[in-house]
Chain A
Amino acid sequence: MEITFWGVRGSYPVSRKDSLLFGGNTSCIYINTSNNTHIIIDGGTGIRKLGDHLLTTQPAVGSNIYNLLLSHSHWDHILGLPFFGPLYHKNSIINVYGATMEYATLKNIFMGLHDTVYFPVALDDLPSQIEFYKIDPGDEFQIADARIKTMQLNHPSVDLGYRVAADGKVITVLTDTARIDEVVLGDGMVKEGKEKEEFIEKYKRDLITLCKDSDILVYDAHFTEENIAGKEFWGHSTPRDAIDIAIAADVKELILFHHDPDDNDINTWIKERNARMYLRSLPKHNLSLTAAYEGLHIRL
């Protein structure tokens, strides 16, 4: 199994000379198994180049199946979708997995993106075959040789974390999510009352179970301990939150993801260095960590 990062930025894309090393494209992660199963997590602006890359490397005859797992449908996770090249090829089958919300089904989200007031090509006019699969938080399912487990994360709307197991290895991607000590953000989560404490305890246990023994854990580490102040409701974590979960779940490698668009390369690099210092201060563990950058590729 291998993983490649095509977009690592949170909130919105940045095109600044001071952010070229980590990259300015928003969330898009590509996972490929030994059976050549294509799994794409999120369709941020990074998906445009991924699509172009897939088209140059995939056979032109026969059908190519692309599996898109959506964490959620905030702009930074879907903005690139209409520019995903395989959508415009009739031999592409695109299976979209994601949550349906009270106010929008998975298909509604795509219809909205391809509404002709925003984009010239309507969803129904795309030559590829697109199938939508509604995922409820907690669902487990199989995509070819990959086993997928899900859970709802702590973020406004319905945001899914994914554990992808294949080839005897595990990659877990948890974005976007906030620490859950006080602030509970997701639709349908227990936000108040006497069951709240119980809910939080269960959430924490479930989160660690989902990450348990992952070879790679990709985790929302948008903020630092300093700049999260006042933004606890935004639904993002810090490297420290990510490290604490990773160690509790015996993860091998942690990838800090969803970098703050206000951070330039130096700030992101300092965030990574401070995370390593915090990690070093902790007793006995085997965790290593990296801040995700555009183009980061890991083969397990």
Chain B
Amino acid sequence: MKLKFWGCRGSIVSPGIETKYYGGSTSCVEVITDDGFRLILDAGTGIIPLSKKLASSVSIHTVVDYKILLTHTHNDHVQGFVFFEPIHHINSYITIFCPKGTIKSLSTIIGNLFQAQYSPLKSIDNLKAQIDFVELEETAFNVGPFNIIPIPLDHNILTYGYRIRYNDIDIVYATDHEARPNEINQRLIEKAKGTQILIHDSQYTDEEYRSKTNWGHSSLSRVAQNALEINPQLLILFHHNPNHNDKQVESKMDIVNRMVKHRFRVISAKEGLTLKLRVKEDLDKI
């Protein structure tokens, strides 16, 4: 299995010289099995370069299935879909999975991104691709060879993290979560226990968090506490604050490493980072 980060930034893109190492694109992570089955986590702007790569590697005559698993529909997790190349190909079959909304249906929320005032495409009905929407309940499901367990997170709207299992490897993708002592967080810990890879929202330093309580993102101390309880082999800090430059993102890694006393490896997610996950020994090489 391969894990590739295409966008690690939270809230809004922050391209520029000061963020060139970790990157400025918003949330998008690609998970691919050894046989090439692909699952795309979130459709932030990172999905745009991913889709350009995908489009250039297949003929427009080839039927291709795309599976996109959204944590929620905040703009930094859906914006890239408007520019997802395969929407323009008649042989694209796209399935979007997302927690069942309470206010609007998923098809309306995604469809409205294409309204004439926002997009020259004028309507989602003008897209050539076949798009299916799956509104998720809190029950485990399968997408191709992946077994996926939704985990409700603490955010401003209904947001799911996911425990994704393929062969013997587990990845927990828990972004846009405000870790704090409550029942939601406790359930995340329980459901994530024993995962090899933990990708966790790490938007704020402890100091920043003091003025951003209830904004739906985690402070580094809380990330460290969660990770110590979950005890993964690798903790990946994700959803970087757009105001953080490369130095600050790097220092988050050092801070959390100290907090968890190097009990497991801690890295900051970086645009372009690819992890090959076969056996435990692969993790040791990171």
Mostly, the B contact residues are loop
How would residues 2 to 14 of chain B score, 1 for a CB under 8 Å from any chain A CB and 0 otherwise? 0000010101111
Task: Find out whether the CB atom of B78 lies under 8 angstroms from the CB atom of A103.
Answer: no
**B181 located at the interface, meaning its Cβ lies under 8 Å from any Cβ of chain A in the complex:** no
Query: How distant is the Cα of A14 from the Cα of B23 in the complex, in angstroms?
Result: 10
Q: If the complex has contacts A13-B45, A117-B101, are A75 and B119 also in contact, measured as CB distance less than 8 A?
A: yes
Total A residues in contact with B, Cβ cutoff 8 Å: 42
Task: Find out whether the CB atom of A24 lies under 8 angstroms from the CB atom of B16.
Answer: yes
**A270 located at the interface, meaning its Cβ lies under 8 Å from any Cβ of chain B in the complex:** no
**B63 located at the interface, meaning its Cβ lies under 8 Å from any Cβ of chain A in the complex:** no
**A16 located at the interface, meaning its Cβ lies under 8 Å from any Cβ of chain B in the complex:** yes
Query: How distant is the Cα of A96 from the Cα of B169 in the complex, in angstroms?
Result: 51
Task: Find out whether the CB atom of B116 lies under 8 angstroms from the CB atom of A23.
Answer: no
Interface-located stretch among A27-35, A108-116, A284-292:
A108-116
B79 / chain A contacts, CB cutoff of 8 Å? 75, 79
Task: Find out whether the CB atom of A23 lies under 8 angstroms from the CB atom of B117.
Answer: no
A-B contact pairs, 25 of them (CB 8 A): A12-B80, A12-B83, A13-B25, A14-B15, A15-B14, A15-B15, A15-B24, A48-B14, A73-B117, A75-B79, A75-B118, A79-B79, A83-B12, A103-B116, A108-B117, A115-B112, A116-B103, A117-B73, A117-B74, A117-B103, A117-B157, A156-B116, A156-B122, A157-B117, A294-B16
**A238 located at the interface, meaning its Cβ lies under 8 Å from any Cβ of chain B in the complex:** no
**A239 located at the interface, meaning its Cβ lies under 8 Å from any Cβ of chain B in the complex:** no
Total B residues in contact with A, Cβ cutoff 8 Å: 45
B253 / chain A contacts, CB cutoff of 8 Å? none
Task: Find out whether the CB atom of A117 lies under 8 angstroms from the CB atom of B104.
Answer: yes
What 9 A-B pairs come out closest when comparing CB atoms? A24-B15, A15-B24, A15-B15, A104-B117, A120-B156, A156-B120, A13-B13, A15-B25, A118-B75
Q: If the complex has contacts A117-B104, A118-B73, are A15 and B117 also in contact, measured as CB distance less than 8 A?
A: no
Q: A residues touching B (Cβ–Cβ < 8 Å)?
A: 11-17, 19-20, 23-25, 45, 48, 52, 73-75, 78-80, 82-83, 101, 103-104, 108-109, 112-113, 115-120, 156-157, 234-235, 261, 294
Closest to B216 in A: A120
Closest to A104 in B: B117
Task: Find out whether the CB atom of B48 lies under 8 angstroms from the CB atom of A12.
Answer: yes
Query: How distant is the Cα of A88 from the Cα of B209 in the complex, in angstroms?
Result: 17
A235 CB to closest chain B CB (Å) equals 7
Closest to B11 in A: A83
A12 / chain B contacts, CB cutoff of 8 Å? 45, 48, 80, 82-83
Closest to A25 in B: B15
B120 CB to closest chain A CB (Å) equals 4
Q: If the complex has contacts A74-B119, A103-B117, are A116 and B156 also in contact, measured as CB distance less than 8 A?
A: yes
A45 / chain B contacts, CB cutoff of 8 Å? 12-13, 15
Closest to B18 in A: A20
Task: Find out whether the CB atom of B271 lies under 8 angstroms from the CB atom of A15.
Answer: yes
Task: Find out whether the CB atom of B24 lies under 8 angstroms from the CB atom of A104.
Answer: no
Query: How distant is the Cα of A25 from the Cα of B24 in the complex, in angstroms?
Result: 10
Mostly, the A contact residues are loop
How would residues 38 to 75 of chain B score, 1 for a CB under 8 Å from any chain A CB and 0 otherwise? 00000001001100000000000000000000000111
B74 CB to closest chain A CB (Å) equals 6
Query: How distant is the Cα of A112 from the Cα of B75 in the complex, in angstroms?
Result: 11
**B17 located at the interface, meaning its Cβ lies under 8 Å from any Cβ of chain A in the complex:** yes
Task: Find out whether the CB atom of B115 lies under 8 angstroms from the CB atom of A104.
Answer: yes
B113 / chain A contacts, CB cutoff of 8 Å? 75
A234 / chain B contacts, CB cutoff of 8 Å? 120
Task: Find out whether the CB atom of A20 lies under 8 angstroms from the CB atom of B20.
Answer: yes
A113 / chain B contacts, CB cutoff of 8 Å? 75
A237 CB to closest chain B CB (Å) equals 15
Task: Find out whether the CB atom of B112 lies under 8 angstroms from the CB atom of A15.
Answer: no
B80 CB to closest chain A CB (Å) equals 8
Which of A17, A48, A52, A101 contacts B117 (CB under 8 A)? A101
Query: How distant is the Cα of A127 from the Cα of B14 in the complex, in angstroms?
Result: 25
B75 / chain A contacts, CB cutoff of 8 Å? 79, 82, 113, 118-119
Q: In the complex, given contacts A79-B79, A104-B116, what are 20 additional A-B residue pairs having Cβ atoms less than 8 angstroms apart? A: A12-B82, A13-B25, A17-B20, A24-B15, A45-B15, A48-B14, A73-B118, A75-B79, A79-B12, A82-B75, A83-B242, A104-B115, A116-B157, A117-B73, A117-B74, A117-B101, A120-B215, A156-B122, A157-B117, A157-B120
How would residues 178 to 202 of chain B score, 1 for a CB under 8 Å from any chain A CB and 0 otherwise? 0000000000000000000000000
Closest to A155 in B: B120
Q: If the complex has contacts A104-B115, A117-B101, A118-B78, are A235 and B19 also in contact, measured as CB distance less than 8 A?
A: no
